[in-house]
Structure 1
């Protein structure tokens, strides 16, 4: 797992795909990005994590495309 600070732009949280996923999973865009980062081993899962969903493989691929080269 990587141990570095990741800067997420507001632009990513406002992306229509991220917002759609947030709507689909009844959560926030921030939680979608956090879930992606945890599932892709960029960050460890928070200790008090109450996430009750996992992104599907195709959703992970879409998120990778959105974040390619951003961190």
Structure 2
């Protein structure tokens, strides 16, 4: 759980996340919480969705991938 908290803190401080959150008049915390939970209460542009996926995807999977995969 601590790793998820660190991930969230790092993402909340990211300039791009802050910019997208500001565009939608929400806090970065709410933007990320809703996005990561799959909520559709925000009308994100397709490029915003792709940006958030790119920022949260690799970091969220860090350390959780199967090391035996080839």
Taking structure 1 as the reference length, what is the TM-score of the superposition? 0.64
Q: Which has the larger radius of gyration?
A: 2
Q: Identify which of structures 1 and 2 has the higher relative contact order when contacts are C-alpha pairs closer than 8 Å and 6+ apart.
A: 1
Q: Which runs of 4+ in 1 moved over 4 A?
A: none
- Measured on the aligned residues, the alpha-carbon RMSD in Å equals 2.2
Which is richer in helix? 2
Q: How many equivalent pairs are there?
A: 57
Taking structure 2 as the reference length, what is the TM-score of the superposition? 0.65
Unaligned stretches of 5+ residues in structure 1: 40-44, 46-50
Unaligned stretches of 5+ residues in structure 2: 61-70
